[in-house]
Amino acid sequence: MDTKKLDLNLLITLEALLAECNVTRAARKLGLSQPAVSTQLARLRDLLGDQLLVPAQRGMMPTARALELQQPLLEALAGVRGVVFTGSGFDPATSKMTISIAGSDHTQYAWLTPFATSLRAKAPGIRLAFRGSHPATLEKQMEQGEIDLAVFPSPYATGSLISTKFRDERYVLIARRQHPGTRRGVGLKRFLALEHVITEPSTVNFAGAVDDALGALGHSRRVVLSVSSFLVAADVIAQTDLIGIVPEGVARGREDRLQIFDPPIDVPEIELLQHWHPRTHSHTGHKWIRDALATVTN
């Protein structure tokens, strides 16, 4: 291969093509026209002596050679970007970075939204994108640059991801204002007598950690509704006589509609972590974002 014909723009295009496996989406991501990206793909194929992307049932798929190149390419471009930012300095007040942060509905509401608000004063040019993810896909999404940072519980820390503790958050029991069954508080007996909402993001069992703890004590509760979102659970509880246990951050800002109690049984706290990929570890701007997020309060 004649490396004199290879320039940085071609490598950035290859990065986008391997992430998207689609010329149109890669062009959109790069801010280029589709014909321009097609021309660059043809040049890459000629230079590397490989098709890199071949037609598949849905769009295109990378060749074995492309898959071999993908991770070294990500690391190399991350190093180049890190050098550029380190050499020129990072100024949050003038930066035009775009950062994609993944989190559950709970973390987006309780922690990422206050962070976005505080960021406007310190770094008005930085754009944030909040996204959902799943433990099975998070590492790949970070490898491909779809997600830069994530705030999730510890089970999401897998593979090559770097993680650091964000904070612990406790669970609280919530009920609507003027709930007829909570005038004298919610002890264990009252807790077991009332009907409950449970949050189950994926599989539906109408049971969770709270039910395991109750079972160990020889008790069970009456779960009548399962939802996939803590925020939906809070809204349902605010409008009905159902009660539920949610992370404390979900209840904040809703005190006009909800009562907040300590659960009548021990519920382990959530350990939230920040997760990121080695490709952004040494990047000055990304490090600034991680440090800024670590100090946010709601």
pLDDT band per the 50, 70, 90 thresholds, residue 157:
low
Residue 85 has pLDDT above 80, yes or no: no
Strand 127-131's sheet: what is its strand order?
A: 127-131, 98-103, 149-153, 270-276, 162-169
Contact 259, 182 (CB under 8 A): yes
Instruction: Give tens-digit pLDDT for 164-177.
Output: 999 999 999 999 99
How does residue 234 score in pLDDT terms, banded at 50, 70 and 90? very high
Q: What is the pLDDT of residue 123?
A: 95
The single residue listed with the structure tokens 């779960």 is 223
Mean pLDDT of 281-294: 92
- The CATH label, of 2.40.10.10, 3.40.50.300, 3.40.190.10, 3.40.930.10, for the domain at 171-268 is 3.40.190.10
Amino acid at 238: A
Max mean pLDDT range (4-13, 52-61, 65-74, 109-118): 109-118
Give alpha helix (H) positions in 90-177. 105-107, 113-122, 135-143
pTM > 0.75: yes or no: no
Q: Cα angle vertex 278, ends 27, 108, to 5°?
A: 75
Q: What residues does each domain of the chain span?
A: 3-88, 98-167+271-294, 171-268
Q: Does the pLDDT at position 84 exceed 70?
A: no
Average pLDDT, the chain: 90
83 has a pLDDT exceeding 80: no
Residue 11 clears pLDDT 80, i.e. is over it: yes
Q: Say how far apart CA 228 and CA 200 lie, in whole Å.
A: 5
Identical fold for domains 3-88 and 171-268, yes or no, is no
Q: What is the pLDDT of residue 280?
A: 87
298: pLDDT strictly greater than 80 = no
Please list, in sequence order, all residues whose beta carbon lies within 8 angstroms of the beta carbon of residue 257, skipping any fewer than 6 positions away: 176, 177, 238
Quote the CA–CA distance of 262 and 190 in Å, as a whole number: 13
Residue 149: pLDDT above 70? yes
Q: Is the dihedral of CA 54, 55, 57, 60 positive or negative?
A: positive
Over 90: is that where the pLDDT of 261 sits? yes
Please compute the mean of the pLDDT values over residues 276-288 and round it to a whole number. 88
Q: Does 249 score more than 90 pLDDT? A: yes
Query: What dotted CATH number matches 98-167+271-294?
Result: 3.40.190.10
Higher pLDDT, 80 or 66: 66
Per-residue pLDDT averaged across 18-27, rounded? 89
Whether the pLDDT of residue 93 is over 60: the answer is yes
Sheet with 171-176, side-by-side order of all strands: 222-227, 195-199, 243-247, 171-176, 258-261
Contact 168, 269 (CB under 8 A): yes
Confidence of residue 273 (pLDDT cuts 50, 70, 90): very high
Q: Rounded distance, CA 119 to CA 16, Å?
A: 28
- Topology of 3-88 in CATH? Arc Repressor Mutant, subunit A (1.10.10)
Element (H, E) at 210: helix 209-216
Task: Of 84-93, 230-239, 258-267, give the lowest mean pLDDT range.
Answer: 84-93
CA distance 25 to 32: 10
- Over residues 141-154, the mean pLDDT reads 88
Percent with pLDDT over 70 in the chain: 93
Q: Specify whether the CB–CB gap between 81 and 93 falls below 8 A.
A: no
Per residue in 180-229, pLDDT tens?
A: 999 989 999 999 999 999 999 888 999 999 999 999 999 999 999 999 99
